[in-house]
Structure formats: structure tokens, C-alpha cells
Amino acid sequence: MYLGIKPDAFEFIPDFSTGEIKIITLHAIENVFAVQYPKRQQEIEGFGRTYSNLNILRRVNEVYINQDKQLVFNTHQLYITRSGQLYFGSDGANTVSIKKAVRKRNQRVFEFNDGSMVTVDDCGFITLTSSNKNIAEVYFASQLEIPLGMATQYEFAGKEFFYHEELGKVKVTLTDAGSLKIQAIQIMRNYTALSLSILKGIVDGAPEQIPISLDIDKAGEMIQELEKAGCSTSMQRPAQPKQQVISAETFYQQNIATFIAHIIEHGAGA
């Protein structure tokens, strides 16, 4: 999500593992923002044209497992469609409960009797945390009646719109531009496509971080060329590796179905 306040723009990136939102400052007049923002807006508008309902489920009163062994939030069940998409909807939902979570004092947390928990934050992000530490935490947005994207720390499945492309990428800092500044600008332009004015600012202001993330292989090649040209650089390693993209069916069986099965097998009573 972006918030534009001229001359700056702020990109908000949720970190599901910590419950924090990272805020990245971009300059609205620079082509980094000029490329990223319209692309994202087109994706959002495309969703609106394709799907009439873009509602998010924020108010969750009950969470349970139904007779079909699916997770249900109020009357909305989480399931795989016949076309192999992750979906969160109420059409034809089986609302007969076989395992019901207890709402904790914290209104956002529901706990099953085996200790597994479901957390729904105020923005509609849902986290599934199993009492079995070998079952990965699952994160997804409670977007209703549209194909979903879901993730664990290392895997992603579903709608590409929800995929965080920055994961696994690195940041490069030009610590010293050396004497061949024009050559340094040309090298960085070849790998980043940033404008000459931005790159000149980086070279003249070194040490300065390049304001976009790069794949680690691409970053390594650029660093090698810059150092051959007499520059000094440093690379910030990613805090989290790039997520592997797998099919929605595989993701559901490995993570959601396993989460549900453990509750049914290890939870006493209903």
C-alpha cells in the first residue's frame, strides 16, 4: 500500500512474522516510485473490474472446523475451488461445527483445545499457529470471495497479486565512487534502469544506498563490475530468503489441511 505526500511517498509492507509494518520512504518525483506505483494501481483496478466484492473480513466472532474438515470464520470457509484456487467464501458453507475455538480475552485470538491458535488482526490479516511446532505458521489476508494468496515463511501459493517480490532481494550501497564516476553511473544504470539524476546523486553523495532491491545474483554481478572500476561497495543481505512458489493445492494440503488434522487428532472434545 502507498501513501503519497508530495514530494515523498511511503510504501507500507506488513511483516506477518513480527506483526509489524515496515515503512519505506520513496521520492514521488523519482522514477523508482513512478514505475512501482502505477503498476500496483493497475493491479488493484484489475481486481475491481474482475471481482465486484473487495471486502475484508475484520470482525470475526467465531472460528471452528466444520464437518467437511474446513476452517470456518463466522460463516466463511477456507477451501480449494475446483479450479485449484485458494478461496474464502460463504457460498454453500457447511456451518456444522466439530471443533470450535475459544475466543481469548484478546478479542483477536481464538484457541482450539489442542493449543492451536488463529489470530485475526485489525487489518484483516489472519495467522494460523499450530500447537505442533513442525507445522509452519500460515499467513493470509481475509479478502472475501476472490482468489487468495497465502504464505508461510518459506513458501507462497495463490494469487500473484499478494506475492511479496522484495523477499530474498538485497540492497547495495556505494560506499566510494572512486575516480571513474561516469563509468560507475553507466554500470549502475545497466543493472537498475534508474535515471541519470538519481545515479549522479548516489555517486556524488557516496556512501549512498541504491534505492531499489536486486536479485542477489544480479547484485553480485553489478558489484563485481563496480569494484573493477575502482568503486567500493557493500551489500545488505536479505532478512528472509525468497519464498518458493508452489501450487495452491500443494500448499493447502501441506499447511492448512495439516493444521486442521492436528487439531482434530489432538484436541479433546468439541
Q: What is the pLDDT of residues 168-220, one digit of tens each?
A: 688 899 999 999 999 999 999 999 888 888 899 999 999 999 988 888 889 99
Q: Architecture of 171-236 per CATH?
A: 2-Layer Sandwich (3.30)
pLDDT at 46: 57
- Domain boundary assignment for the chain: 2-50, 63-163+244-266, 171-236
Q: State the distance between the two ends of the chain, measured CA to CA, in whole angstroms.
A: 40
Query: Of 17 and 253, which is predicted with more confidence?
Result: 253
pLDDT digit string, tens, across residues 90-129 = 877 788 899 999 998 777 899 999 999 999 887 788 999 9
Burial readout 183-192 (b: 16 or more C-beta within 10 A, e: otherwise): bbbebbeebb
Predicted local distance difference test score (pLDDT) of residue 5: 43
pLDDT of residue 23: 61
- 28 has a pLDDT exceeding 50: no
Determine which of 62-76, 177-191, 236-250 has the lowest per-residue pLDDT on average.
236-250
3-15 pLDDT tens trace: 444 444 555 565 6
Average pLDDT, the chain: 81
Q: Three cell numbers at 8?
A: 515523498
- Give percent above pLDDT 90 in the chain: 45
pTM of the entire structure?
0.67
Selected residue with higher pLDDT from 35 and 98: 98
pLDDT of residue 29: 42
Can you give the pLDDT at residue 13?
60
What is the percentage of the chain residues whose pLDDT exceeds 70?
76
Cis peptide before 38 (omega within 30 of 0): no
Question: Is the pLDDT assigned to residue 42 strictly greater than 50?
Answer: yes
